[in-house]
Chain A
């Protein structure tokens, strides 16, 4: 039974965030249009047909996820996490190879990319862990959180799928931040990691490290600790080149190509250049639907998945791309609003985490399409072709909508 502030019975649907729902439905329609255009280019509409199925199933998932009450999510959080870990292990044990990595498993004729639902499971489990610790802040919490985050991140990383593993790192940071972890903890955790980039820009990283250490001193940490952290940073600085050697060649290539796309105009640099050309030639109003030369003559690679934004950029121009950005900012706006107004702390964390997940993917993917970020292979939420990701995103959206439906419940 749902009661309003004055204690009257009200319908849950009054609480439903219709704008967010419409935003997502609109994006799904755009996705179908864009995947169709990509199919038109190669006169092969199987992707479109499959995407149509994914969208239909996804909408059911969306509504399903919306109606599940927070306590159910809370109850299922660790189970989902455990299942995800098992799936990720089974990928490594008997997965399907693709793009130089094992990322998929085949279940009953369907290919599943377990790292996609793992993102959701991780948000649920991490949120449960944090909400269970409620008002506690300290290294024990960090330790417990790390025990949860490390396995899932590493399992994805060794597939290897560096791009997706960054999602878990970002989710960890944002969930901890949303929880309210003070800045000094982040500094202690991330200064050494940050130091690994020392060789990219010594002056900048050096300055940031010094300021960080200064901040730590100000918050009352004693000198012994600060010196220890500084030493760890030093080791990280020296260890970075060794870590670099551990990267897969294709990962190194992506990172170096990101620094200078023209250095490898035929490998991954080629993709980025073609993507930029597609977006750039779109202009203000675009070349017109099914009329983009880069897309329709297939110069744009991976146009139904990783570079679907570039397809939109070419055929719908600045208007189209701005609309997409506006829709994402709406998701951010509504998502964080729902998270902030949620009385249930677990659900608040879940909602914030899901919103961050969606936005992080979109920023990284668009940054990649524009040539500003490395080619990580993260797809564009609600738009890119792909079943696992589409369902995960719609499930995430369902949870955000669920937060508004159940915002008064503890």
Chain B
């Protein structure tokens, strides 16, 4: 077959071929026009994202002082080992070497390096606070380990471990928040005051812009972006008195429980102790999983802040509130007397008084002084669960105290609605109410609530506890005080007086359950409590305030499984109060006791 279309084609094939090529080149030219001229800003931004690294300049964290200016938390320098994931990904041999030198698991190191992903330039911390020997070793062989770097940073140091639960701890910024905070690599508050006041003590990180090459190596500062200097964190002064805190810590040694002391006039928290405690320094760096597991599986629950999270039945320390409700309701007055025979038959169950031989004829005074349960059973059942719990509620129990802390158990004041919900409308009886009347059963409070409650009895005001006193700007010296707050209980003065009188008699009159804690120097008013619990021996409780006429301190002590409030808890509270009033109270020393009762020989009552 001979071709026929030749002529036309020979004439025009050059034009067709040339046009074809030019068409392609023209399309490319349009594309270049779009990329280089129209969309340039977007690509410039991407190029900048490639080469410019914003490195956070860590601010200095604020220090924490006690009310006397003693240092509770400070900073100390520490070296951290960083890895650049992007580089490590290409030099996985580094991981094996590091694993050997740091005596860490290879997988663990890989996990840490890739904390922010393998393909990022964001350096990841491998180990904080590297030991000096390790540091020296690494420094000598650093050239053979591409992708690692050291950073000097400040580490938290807690010279006052007695206050761990108050101070809390710091930890690594987690990934989600680090994105928000400009790639910070430092530590942030994770718990306690370190967390609550993070905004103040944390400061604001500065930013320095560096230019890096493709391997992530810094090749100099990025001149076009100006460095932002960090703002250092504010120092914080607490209301906590470290002497008192230490005393409480010593007194509670070997025990479990919580101690809270507040200034009833304004709510300043003088002591907030929870035992057992943990060593705060383990939170300063990267915590090995093993240590963490040990901590959370410890049967003593050392991480639990018992002062705020402990769920304790108030036991007899609840009696003032119940009696107050009964007096306001008109069921109890000065003439009310009930005979205690060591118990009370309610339905088909016999409710015992703690004193099996009976208190005999008991009025409201004796009911508090000797902690007679029968008096409370009878009157509590009469006024009903709603009025009891309402009174407790009004006086600071069973509700968040509003303390400046991140965790707090709100307690439980079981009203009728709650009981109906829990047991069914007909599922609960007067027996439950009787039980609640002596602070057992469903009622749950925290030591902090008990302290606030005691202060409320002492002053008639429910204070909001304040752990912090003020924040100080370390650069300008500007001071911002934490405002104190309180609200009246609304409990009539005559009833408050009766409660106080009952509590005074507990300590200062013979047959009082804490008579052995009587002081010659000042009048302390208190109330013992023994709380049955399903976990073992009874909890021992004691609440107290002093001096009686002009209260300066209110204390609540809970000793888990301490058996008797009077023998275990009361001496601790008494020593704390004594120490505070004699040595630590900043104002003029209060006058000697004005009220001197007749001193009679009494049996040393070791009862709750």
| A binding-site residues for B, Cβ under 8 Å | 135-138, 174, 177-178, 180, 182, 266, 273-274, 276-284, 293-294, 297-299, 313, 317-318, 321-322, 325, 328-329, 332-333, 336-337, 339-340, 352, 355-356, 359, 363, 366-367, 370, 372
- Given A137-B3, A276-B43, A279-B36, answer yes or no on A325-B214 (Cβ-Cβ < 8 Å): no
Min CB distance B215 to A, Å, is 8
> Please, how many angstroms separate the alpha-carbon atoms of A78 and B486 in the complex?
105
CA distance A283 to B37 in the complex (A): 5
Residues of A within 8 A of B25 (CB): 325, 328-329, 332, 363
A-B contact pairs, 13 of them (CB 8 A): A137-B1, A138-B1, A182-B3, A277-B47, A279-B35, A279-B43, A281-B43, A282-B36, A283-B37, A294-B51, A297-B212, A298-B215, A332-B25
The one of A136, A321, A339 that contacts B14, using a Cβ cutoff of 8 Å: A339
Kindly report which residue of chain A lies nearest to residue B89, judged by CB atoms.
Answer: A266
Taken together as a complex, chains A and B put the C-alpha atoms of A297 and B49 apart, in Å, by: 13
Given known A-B contacts A294-B47, A297-B211, A321-B36, A180 and B14 have beta carbons under 8 A apart: no
Min C-beta distance of B483 to chain A, whole Å = 52
- Asked, given contacts A266-B119, A294-B50, A298-B213, whether A180 binds B35 with beta carbons under 8 Å apart, the answer is no
Q: Does B22 contact A (CB under 8 A)?
A: yes
- Chain B 29-46 against A: per-residue CB contact (8 Å), 1 yes, 0 no? 101110111011011101
List, in ascending order, chain A residues with CB within 8 A of B28's CB. Answer: 325, 363, 366-367, 370
Does residue B9 face the partner (Cβ distance < 8 Å to A)? yes
Asked if B591 CB lies within 8 Å of chain A CBs, one says no
* Contact, CB under 8 Å: B3 / A280: no
The answer to whether A352 touches B32 (Cβ under 8 A) is no
- Is the CB–CB distance between A293 and B50 below 8 Å? yes
A-B CB pair tally, cutoff 8 Å? 131
Question: Is B219 an interface residue when CB atoms closer than 8 A count as contact?
Answer: yes
- Secondary structure class of chain A's binding surface, majority of residues: helix
CB within 8 Å for A136 and B31 given contacts A278-B47, A298-B213, A332-B18: no
Contacts of B14 in A (CB 8 A): 336-337, 339-340
Assembled-state Cα–Cα distance A337/B17 (Å)? 10
Closest A residue, CB atoms, query B18: A336
Instruction: State how many angstroms separate the Cβ of A357 from the closest Cβ of chain B.
Output: 12
Q: A297 to nearest B CB, angstroms?
A: 4
Interface flag for B595 (CB, 8 Å): no
CA distance A279 to B28 in the complex (A): 12
Interface residue SS majority, chain B: helix
Is B6 close to A, CB under 8 A? yes
**Bound CA span A177–B9, Å:** 9
B21 within 8 A of A: yes
In the complex, the answer to whether A281 meets B44 with C-beta atoms within 8 Å is yes
For A328, what are the chain B residues with a Cβ–Cβ distance below 8 Å?
A: 25
Task: Give, as a whole number of angstroms, the nearest-CB distance from A283 to chain B.
Answer: 5
Distance, CA A297 to CA B217, complexed state (A): 10
Interface membership of B2, Cβ < 8 A: yes
Known: A329-B22, A352-B17, A359-B21. A136 touches B1 (CB 8 A): yes
Expressed in whole angstroms, the Cα–Cα distance for A284 and B36 within the complex equals 6
The 5 residue pairs across chains A and B that have the minimum distance between CB atoms: A280-B43, A340-B14, A137-B3, A332-B21, A297-B213
Given A299-B51, A337-B14, the answer on whether A180 and B36 have CB atoms closer than 8 Å is no
CA distance A178 to B17 in the complex (A): 9
Do A318 and B36 have beta carbons less than 8 Å apart?
yes
In the complex, which of the residues A182, A322, A325 contacts B5, with contact meaning CB atoms closer than 8 Å? A182
Query: B39 touching A280 by the CB < 8 A rule?
Result: yes
B10 close to A (CB within 8 Å): yes
A298 to B10 alpha-carbon distance, docked (Å): 49
Q: In whole angstroms, what is the CA distance A332 to B22 when docked?
A: 8
Inter-subunit contact A277/B36 (CB<8 Å):
no
Contacts of A370 in B (CB 8 A): 28, 31-32, 35
Residues in A whose Cβ lies below 8 Å from that of B219:
297
- Residues in B with CB closer than 8 Å to A313 are 32, 36
Establish whether residues B13 and A180, one from each chain, have CB atoms under 8 Å apart when the complex forms: yes
**For the complex, what is the distance from the CA of A283 to the CA of B36, rounded to whole Å?**
4
